[in-house]
Structure 1
Amino acid sequence: MSSLSKDIVREVLTYDNYDEWQVLMKNYLVGQSLWSVVDETECQPPTGDPSYAAWKEKNSKALHAIQISCGAVMFSHVKTSASASDAWKALANECRSAWGRRRKITETLCSHSQKMKEVLGDDGGEGLSKYRILYDAALNGDWKMAKWFIDKHSEALAAGLDKWSNTALHIAALYGNTQFVIELVKITPPESLARQNCVASTALHLVAEGGTKRMAEVMLERNQSLFHIRDSNGMTPLLSAAVFSRKDVLSYLYSRATDADLNSNLEDCVAVLIHLINAECYGMALDLLHRCPNAASTPYENDETALDFLARKPYAFKSRRRLGFWHRKLYSWVHVEFPDTHSHTAKKYYKDEEDPVKEEQVSNGFPQRSSTHQLLCYSNKLFWDVLQQIVPSIKEVRRRKLMHLQSRELVKQLFKKVTMMIKNDHKVEQLLGPPLIVAAEFGIVEFVEIALKYYPRLIEYPDANLRCIMQVAVLNRQEKVFKMLNKKGRQITLRTFDRDIYMNNILHLAAKLAPPHQLHSVSGAALQLQRELQWFKAIEMLAPPKYKERKNSQGLTPQLLFSEEHKDLIAKGESWMKETAASCTVAAALIITMMFAAAFTVPGGIRSDTGTPIFEHSHSFLVFVISDAFALFSASTSMLMFLSILTSRYAEIDFLESLPRKLIIGLAMLFLSIASMMATFSSTMFIMLRNRQGPISIILASLGVVPATLFAFLQFPLFVDMMSYTYGSGIFH
């Protein structure tokens, strides 16, 4: 959380803390005399009204406070809001609708599970008093004691032991006593396994919430009807497992579901699909979609489809994952395949039509070509299976790659089925447009690519603010999406240059300050401003010249809006540059002082008769002279660069190339001077210890590497960032 948001609320807004957040936020806004613009007791006056400027200032302060107090996901719902009132309502609607869904499903189940655990230690009435021994045995997993008690009291097997009417099987399942459950199921009549507690949950429901796969197996082997029993929320064990993301139990229960089971209740099917996506079980979601295709276009809650939920999962896609150097290499090398765990039709279903090579890699089973080819495929798979046991990080890379392939395929199948099943263009756009806008906001390139492949007209789909996906990508600084849309100018249309409801054209959107999570992905205020300038200049090159002078509803041209939005960042960038330059100037000055003195204090002394160095013919002395000169000259150059930064005018445009270039040269020269200074020290050690044993002089001289290495380690990331942003590929490449 940023320091600014900490001054307002305890933690940024998420779906889980809205009640607490809105109380703290309201108190803050009231204390700052800003609440009146949020609850609209102070309405927006006409633009020409004398009170408009005061209202605008209060609205901006309130909106800023709300936005910086939001997490990344919640910020996406208000980043385009023009008024604090709109932002407040949008967050309330989003959180309450999401909270309502969770109350209806997840929270209800969680609460009754928790309450059951809380009351298990309470006086459960006559049942608990009478069957206390069995109750304690089920709670602690003591099968011997339970068996002894049941042999004496056979009626206890189906009796309710607490105020929730939980049987011994319910209690053991709730507390995860697997072996106890297995033994108890063996002696329980099949019809007794269907016993429901006071919230209509069977023991299998509790297994789905927190049990193990083995528990579910033994129960369904004894009584298959358990699979279809619903609790008081109307939920089957399969849906409960999906809600609680119990992947092992979920996988098993899903494997028991027939096509008839899935298609008999479309609402259930959609709910399972949504929760499979939330649980990141994309393989099962793919199979479910194949078996129940109508789920692709059926809304769940709040008129949201599976695509809407998937669009809010950016890290399920390769384009949003940032991998280190070695992980990138491993990612490109590792072999993955879709395991055939759910459907015999999966091989055909997972076929990748766009990439035949990938199809061979990800299909279930191996391509039916030749025994030699199958042997090679099997050997390749075996190699990676063995290697991941030796190198644990390979397993995580393979898991990610599989997830990326599955999520991409899921998006493709969802778009494919929606466009095939629905022929009404308006309805298709209403279903596919909103998730596409969200995907563009989050920078999911694969999602946008697939959407435009199956329904190209979505390129012009407007969001609530009348912005198309190109404009949304620019506003949210989603470089990969922008590059993909701009590739060869294929996706540039007249809609790209249309104005939104605030009369902003695409240049105005580029002039706005980037969202905080994008801004903070770049280190240092100066580099953040440089990146903002690069975005603005890139869009300026793209847009026709006439758009540069057009004004928005605030009467600002794009250039004026950029200056207004970034004035704080410019001040921070200037401060950051000056502090960095001042610190480095001191270091460079010290090196100059030492190296200048060293040039006249020759190690080993000089001959009194000729004035020449005694060791002038030594290799170590030659190294000393060269490194001393390099250190002196490079430190001098470095100091001059930093001094020029300190005396710069710090104009807006200077942050684009001039200041970063000077900083790059200054840091490079400073590093070279430090390395040369250490070389000077090492050569001096060799000269002074020439008559001593070799290892001692080598060890002492080698210590000179430490400061240079430490400096490089600390400053290298900043140096690489500056080089990349200044001389690397631009927005258009």
Structure 2
Amino acid sequence: MASSNVEYPWPATVNGPSFISMKLRFHETDGTNYKAWKEQMLCLIEGQDLLGFIDGTIPPPPSAPETSTSTSTTMARGGNDYRLWRRSDRLLKGWILGSLHEDMVSEVSALETSRNVWLHLENTFYDRQKNILKSLEYSSTGENKLHETKEEDLIMKYMPLHKAALEGDWETAKRIFDRDPRAKSAVLDNTGLTPLHVAVGTGKKGIHFVRNMVELLMADDTGEELMARRNVTGHTALHSAANVDNTEAATILVNRMPRLLYTPNFLRNDFPVHTAALFSHKRILLYLLQATKEQKPYDCYDGLRLLGYLIEADFFDVALYLVDKYPYLATLVAPDGGCALWCISGNKSAFSGRRRFSFWEHFNILHSTSSILMQNLTGDEEAK
């Protein structure tokens, strides 16, 4: 039989759960973080070209006739194609299981594929939302109950808009905006994501949506305020673009509202350029570096933190550029003792031959930071 040319993505070196900042759980009284968890998981899954495994567009290849009645021969049924597909699917399933609260793992671990697990979690969430609405309808506490569940009620109300933003479906979203102008500023989940955040986070398929959404917002009297909306962690839509390497969306946002470049988040005071470096997205990083002309994101410890992100991402060429432009970063020491030399010495790949960077490029990084450090030390001694 002829061999197949089917290739399936297999990002085995990616530690999926490390990209997810929370463990998914469902709790009858405390609620669920499903919406926030799903958004982070989708960013990871789409970023690694694995979305087709959960949405059904990359189904398992047709199975060949079984060669044995033993269940242990499942892997052999579809030949090499099936083996490669299952390898990728098992990796994705492992990512999902690794991001679940321990109480939930046993509930879904026996399910066969990542899609089975994903759909089970999705159905669990929607069943829970239906129960919330049902309890609201039959609640004996009246207005008090309505007030307590107002946020969940609004999230349910705008769920079709959330879905449209995720799918890049501008026509459906526009009909919703026409009926309800307040939907432009709607909060779509309990992390504070807006339609613009969500659309930007979908990558290339959402560009048409993003472009039209920006025009719609900027036509409003409060357009700049709507464009600058931040979620609960302080991320603007430009942070979302940096998070998923969406340079096209970033260009649209910056062209209409440049000050987004200088809006930090709440977590570490990271600017969009920091987020791009933190998630090792070089394409959008280079765009944001070129666009971010003001000093603010490079000042003092913000600049040092950016330099650290660049070194950790192995972007040594960009790190050299930053040190050359802002020499003081090479000698700056953070309150916790962190500095550029410490970051480099702690990065094993800076001394590894597995990258294209030559030994001399690595040496130049150490030499440039060390030279500036020695110059400063010599100047201090002479001053004494």
Question: Normalised by the shorter chain, which TM-score bucket?
Answer: 0.5 to 0.7
Aligned to 1:409: 364
Aligned with 1:421 (options 373, 376, 381): 376
Aligned to 2:172: 145
Aligned to 2:211: 182
Q: 2:245–2:276: 8 Å Cα contact kept in structure 1?
A: no
**1:71-86 paired onto structure 2 within 5 Å:** none
Question: C-alpha separation between the residues in 1 aligned to 2:286 and 2:254?
Answer: 14
Question: C-alpha separation between the residues in 2 aligned to 1:178 and 1:422?
Answer: 52
TM-score w.r.t. length of structure 1: 0.31
Please list the CA deviations of residues 522-564 of structure 1 after superposition, one character each: whole Å capped at 9, or x if unmatched: xxxxxxxxxxxxxxxxxxxxxxxxxxxxxxxxxxxxxxxxxxx
Change (3 A) 1:172 1:405: farther
Aligned to 1:251: 286
Q: 1:213–1:248: 8 Å Cα contact kept in structure 2?
A: yes
Q: 1:178–1:214: 8 Å Cα contact kept in structure 2?
A: no
Question: C-alpha separation between the residues in 2 aligned to 1:254 and 1:305?
Answer: 21
Q: Which runs of 5+ in 1 are unaligned?
A: 1-15, 17-105, 323-398, 427-733
Aligned to 2:159: 132
Question: C-alpha separation between the residues in 2 aligned to 1:271 and 1:219?
Answer: 24
Aligned with 1:260 (options 276, 291, 295): 295
Amino acid at match of 1:321: G
Aligned with 1:111 (options 2, 21, 24): 21
CA-based RMSD of the aligned residues comes to 2.9
Please list the CA deviations of residues 655-685 of structure 1 after superposition, one character each: whole Å capped at 9, or x if unmatched: xxxxxxxxxxxxxxxxxxxxxxxxxxxxxxx
Q: What's the secondary structure of 2:295's corresponding residue?
A: helix
TM-superposed CA distance for 1:255, in Å, is 1.4
Q: 1:262–1:292: 8 Å Cα contact kept in structure 2?
A: no
TM-superposed CA distance for 1:142, in Å, is 1.5
Change (3 A) 1:287 1:113: farther
Change (3 A) 1:112 1:292: farther
Aligned to 2:185: 158
Change (3 A) 1:284 1:424: same
TM-superposed CA distance for 1:193, in Å, is 1.2
**1:17-416 paired onto structure 2 within 5 Å:** 110-111=20-21, 116-118=35-37, 122=125, 123=129, 125-176=152-203, 177-179=205-207, 180-189=209-218, 190-191=223-224, 192-233=226-267, 234-258=269-293, 260-263=295-298, 265-300=299-334, 302-317=336-351, 320-321=352-353, 400-401=356-357, 404-416=359-371
TM-score w.r.t. length of structure 2: 0.56
Q: What's the secondary structure of 1:220's corresponding residue?
A: helix
Q: Which runs of 5+ in 2 are unaligned?
A: 1-14, 25-32, 40-121, 130-150
Question: C-alpha separation between the residues in 2 aligned to 1:247 and 1:113?
Answer: 28
Change (3 A) 1:274 1:155: same
Q: 1:299–1:305: 8 Å Cα contact kept in structure 2?
A: yes
Please list the CA deviations of residues 482-507 of structure 1 after superposition, one character each: whole Å capped at 9, or x if unmatched: xxxxxxxxxxxxxxxxxxxxxxxxxx
Q: 1:196–1:203: 8 Å Cα contact kept in structure 2?
A: yes
Aligned to 1:92: none
TM-superposed CA distance for 1:300, in Å, is 3.8
Aligned to 1:478: none
Question: C-alpha separation between the residues in 2 aligned to 1:220 and 1:112?
Answer: 30
Q: What's the secondary structure of 2:378's corresponding residue?
A: coil
Amino acid at match of 2:273: L
Question: C-alpha separation between the residues in 2 aligned to 1:282 and 1:297?
Answer: 17
Q: What's the secondary structure of 1:188's corresponding residue?
A: helix
Change (3 A) 1:214 1:301: farther
TM-superposed CA distance for 1:110, in Å, is 4.5
TM-superposed CA distance for 1:135, in Å, is 1.2
TM-superposed CA distance for 1:262, in Å, is 4.5
Q: 2:167–2:206: 8 Å Cα contact kept in structure 1?
A: no
Change (3 A) 1:269 1:113: farther
Q: What's the secondary structure of 1:423's corresponding residue?
A: helix
Change (3 A) 1:293 1:152: same
Q: 2:165–2:206: 8 Å Cα contact kept in structure 1?
A: no
Q: 2:36–2:191: 8 Å Cα contact kept in structure 1?
A: no
TM-superposed CA distance for 1:243, in Å, is 1.4
TM-superposed CA distance for 1:241, in Å, is 1.6
Q: 1:273–1:306: 8 Å Cα contact kept in structure 2?
A: yes
Q: What's the secondary structure of 2:235's corresponding residue?
A: coil
TM-superposed CA distance for 1:294, in Å, is 1.0
Give the number of aligned pairs.
241
The answer to which structure, 1 or 2, has the higher relative contact order (CA under 8 A, 6+ apart) is 2
Q: 1:259–1:292: 8 Å Cα contact kept in structure 2?
A: no
Please list the CA deviations of residues 590-643 of structure 1 after superposition, one character each: whole Å capped at 9, or x if unmatched: xxxxxxxxxxxxxxxxxxxxxxxxxxxxxxxxxxxxxxxxxxxxxxxxxxxxxx
* Overall identity of the aligned pairs, in %: 27
Question: C-alpha separation between the residues in 1 aligned to 2:285 and 2:356?
Answer: 20
Amino acid at match of 1:421: N
Change (3 A) 1:300 1:178: farther
Question: C-alpha separation between the residues in 2 aligned to 1:113 and 1:175?
Answer: 22
Change (3 A) 1:110 1:143: same
Change (3 A) 1:270 1:182: same
Aligned to 1:433: none
Change (3 A) 1:417 1:250: same
Question: C-alpha separation between the residues in 2 aligned to 1:321 and 1:129?
Answer: 52
Q: What's the secondary structure of 1:170's corresponding residue?
A: helix
Change (3 A) 1:404 1:261: farther
Q: 2:36–2:190: 8 Å Cα contact kept in structure 1?
A: no
Tell me which protein shows more helix as a share of its residues. Answer: 1
